[in-house]
Copies of this chain bind each other. A is one copy, B any other.
Amino acid sequence: MTTTATTIKDSVHDYIELCPTAEALLDTAPMQRLRYVRQLSTVQLVYPSANHTRFEHSLGVYHLASRAVDQLELDDQLADRLRAAALVHDVGHGPFGHQTEAAIERHVGRHHDEIEWLLTDSEVGDVLEEQGLDPEAVAATVDGRGPLGELVSGSLDVDRMDYLVRDAHHTGVPYGTIDHSRLLYALRTVDGELALEAGNVATAESALIARTLMNATVYGHHVSRIAGAMLDRASERVLRDEVISPERFARLTDSELLSLLAEHEPTADLERRLRERTLYKRAIWARRGDVTDEFVGLEYDHTRSLEREIAEVADVDPAAVILDSPSEPSSPESRAKIVVDGDLRRLEERSSLVAGLDACARETWRLGVYAPEPVLADVQAAAATVLETDAIVAP
């Protein structure tokens, strides 16, 4: 800590000190853009205080990475790479974060090539090189590859440590308030792998528990999922109609996407509904046991053909039916490594909780069919027939 470091005040971590690389990166347009992408996208429709951005989250992840590299006493070059990767890890995110990810991937391919392209061929890449860093190595780190890349993207990464605490602070839901300092103090490198020192099974479990509870109450709230599904359909439409190239789409801010949707006639109604919060409602809300396996984690094309089928049976506009069947949940945290009697073990081998939390996560799984209020009853009846389920939502 020198007397001249630039510091930024953060509502979660108090003062964040910037290294020269971070200062230079923050001045780029792609980083500044993250001020206009909400961290929790449509969750603010349920938790009105959840307006924090990927910009402040990126600063937080950078801060935790800084503390981790100090704790691990890494050499300067690796430390600088890890800090830089932490700061830029979200720079490739499209508008509304994960909620447009699938649409972007359907039109430009995988996102990992994307971040590599972004870092090597942009203002961010230039800054990295000026600071003596290899953009490709930073991109690999963002993707969890290379030396200690798992610190940025892995089972114990600083990304998750920051978002759990930050999302708790901004939603008011306490479940995400993990003891991130304890996780940082417990970090060790064992033969180049990141692990928690002995005696930290409960510490690791607490992070997994926090995410499971935040999923159930915040991240997976049905109102946010409905809005997200509406965004996905609208995004697909503007991309399919070639209103914008997928590359430019991926660089929009949240509000720029909404403006685009408002100006394109086929998506204008969805945009107005999102803006005024007159969302589609749940017609079907089915647990794992309420539907057959074939309807779990549907491919996009299959989803769309089922939507059309439901619309046909209900005799409504196909745009009035949204089917949303996510994959079954996974829990990367359960693969966190812990030192036990001198050996590395996966958390899932040592913890009696992991299986229960997995079951818990599976229980929060839902297949949803959403429709606008006027046609809700018709869509409900049709969807029950097509999906052979009786998990209808009472009006």
Q: Which residues of A contact B (CB under 8 A)?
A: 1-3, 7-12, 14-15, 27, 29, 32-33, 35-36, 38, 44-45, 47-53, 55-56, 59, 70-73, 169-175, 177-179, 181-182, 185, 188, 202, 205-206, 209, 213, 216-217, 253-256, 258-259, 275-277, 351-357, 359-360, 362-364
A185 touches B32 (CB 8 A): no
In the complex, are the beta carbons of A276 and B29 less than 8 A apart? yes
A185, B8: Cα distance in complex, Å: 12
Q: Is there contact, CB below 8 Å, between B177 and A174?
A: yes
Cβ-neighbour of A352 out of B38, B178, B360 (below 8 A): B360
Given known A-B contacts A213-B206, A255-B259, A356-B353, A49 and B11 have beta carbons under 8 A apart: yes
Q: A9-B172, A179-B175 are in contact. Are A48 and B53 (CB under 8 A)?
A: yes
Majority secondary structure, A binding face: helix
CB-contact partner of A202 in B2, B174, B217, under 8 A:
B217
The residue in chain B whose Cβ has the minimal distance to the Cβ of A363 is B352
Does the CB pair B48–A56 fall under 8 Å?
yes
Contacting residues, chain B, for A8 (C-beta < 8 A): 48
Question: Which B residues touch A255, using CB under 8 A?
Answer: 36, 253-256, 258-259
Kindly provide the distance from the CB of A113 to the nearest chain B CB, expressed in whole angstroms.
26
A359 to B350, CA, bound (A): 11
- Residue of B whose beta carbon sits closest to that of A278: B27
Distance in angstroms between the alpha carbons of A149 and B47 in the assembled complex? 29
B-chain residues with CB within 8 Å of residue A170 when the two chains form the complex: 11
Determine the chain B residues whose CB is within 8 A of the CB of A188 once the complex forms: 3
Q: Which residues of B contact A253 (CB under 8 A)?
A: 255
CB-CB < 8 A to A29: which residues of B?
275-276
In the assembled complex, how far is the CB of residue A380 from the closest CB belonging to chain B, in whole angstroms? 19
Report the Cα distance A55→B277, complex, angstroms.
13
CB closest residue in chain B, given A358: B352
Given A49-B52, A59-B48, A213-B209, A15-B181 contact (CB < 8 Å): yes
A301 to B14, CA, bound (A): 42
A56 vs B56: C-alpha distance in the bound complex, in angstroms? 19
Can you add 19 more A-B contacts, CB < 8 Å, to A10-B48, A352-B362? A3-B71, A7-B185, A10-B172, A11-B50, A11-B169, A11-B170, A32-B276, A35-B44, A35-B277, A38-B51, A48-B53, A51-B51, A174-B174, A202-B213, A202-B217, A209-B213, A352-B363, A353-B353, A356-B359
A112 CA to B356 CA in the complex, in Å?
Answer: 36
From B47, B52, B70, B356, give the contact of A355 (CB < 8 A). B356
Q: Report the bound CA distance from A45 to B8 in whole Å.
A: 11
Closest to A72 in B: B3
Which residues of B lie under 8 Å from residue A49 when comparing CB positions? 9-12, 52, 56
